[in-house]
Amino acid sequence: MTQNNQDKLTQDVVAAFADAPPRLREIMTSLVKHVHAFARDVDLTQEEWLAGLKFLTKTGQISTERRPEFILLSDTLGLSMMIVTLAHARESSNAQGATEATVEGPFYWAGSPEYPLGADISAGASGEPAYYSGRVLDLQGRPLAGALLDIWSGDGDGKYDVQLAAEPEMKARGRIHTDSEGRYWFWSIRPSYYPIPDDGPVGDMLRATNRNIFRPGHIHMQVSAPGHVMLTTHVFVNGSPYIDEDEHVSRRDSLVVEFPQHPPGKAPDGRVMQVPYYSAAYDFRLAPARA
């Protein structure tokens, strides 16, 4: 096919979407142009094109509510992080100084239980105990009372509750609200590094391209308050294996936190610990939402 015929093909496909709703037309027009340009740029062969289609078919076939392989694919391609950065730029009138956002990941589970401040949300998850504390603030450093933290992590063996049984029970998940001074504190476990689910097409892709399949230890947080952009982010364990090789490409220096170990004894909240424990302190800063 000549250059002119290739250009006309792209124009014809774009024209086929002329009657689509405006936003959908904009998206499909750009998609067609970029996909056609990609095929031309790499001189895509029929065999490679068919292999790509089979890869996407397998990705759909293995996907379930508890195993969203397409989210995993989006995460490994950095597309999830790109969407996150676009969303924050779109939703905030001023994000300068706000806590950096990261991906939600494939293991978020809506409807986790609400706990009072100071509670242990581990619910029996394996791992070493850790005490988390900090504040939720606006960009001027003012405390946000009643802010909601929706928290989840894997356990000390690197497994999320949804991976442990066909009918899993929620563990290492919970929602808490800040006090009148914007403070939060709770107990859970120090999260471990772990491999992503690699028994599907995404794992095959990572191995074929000689990429790492591990994520460093981290705990997820969704932090929200009225009038502010909801923040989805991680707190990463400094010194964790793979801290510089996050397979999701979502590690940010500002989110890497020390987890010092403490001997048995009285913890900061007055709880008497019979075993050694860790602690992590982090203040979240939320950007104002656009009017």
Q: Whole-angstrom Cα distance, residue 61 to residue 32?
A: 25
The three-class DSSP label of residue 48 is helix
What's the pLDDT score for residue 96?
Answer: 79
289: confidence class by pLDDT, cuts 50, 70, 90: confident
What average pLDDT does the structure give for the chain? 93
If phi > 0 it is left, if psi is from -120 to 50 it is alpha, else beta; for residue 40 that is alpha
**CB atoms inside a 10 Å sphere around CB 123:** 17
Per residue in 12-28, pLDDT (tens digit) is 999 999 999 999 999 99
Who's near 179: CB < 8 A, 6+ residues apart?
A: 117, 145
pLDDT for 291 beyond 80 = no
For 59-85, write each residue's pLDDT tens digit: 999 998 878 899 999 999 999 999 988
Query: Does residue 53 register a pLDDT over 80?
Result: yes
Give the pLDDT of residue 87: 83
pTM of the model: 0.87
| Across 103-112, average pLDDT | 91
Q: In the chain, what are the domains?
A: 3-66 (no CATH), 73-286 (2.60.130.10)
Which residues neighbour 73 within 8 Å (Cβ) at sequence distance 6 or greater? 59, 201, 202, 205
Q: Is residue 105's pLDDT more than 90?
A: no
Which residue is listed with tokens 């706990």? Answer: 115
pLDDT per position as a tens digit, 209-260: 999 999 999 999 999 999 999 999 999 999 999 999 888 888 899 999 999 9
Task: Note the maximum CA span of the chain.
Answer: 77
Model confidence over 181-217: pLDDT tens digits? 999 999 999 999 999 889 999 999 999 999 999 999 9
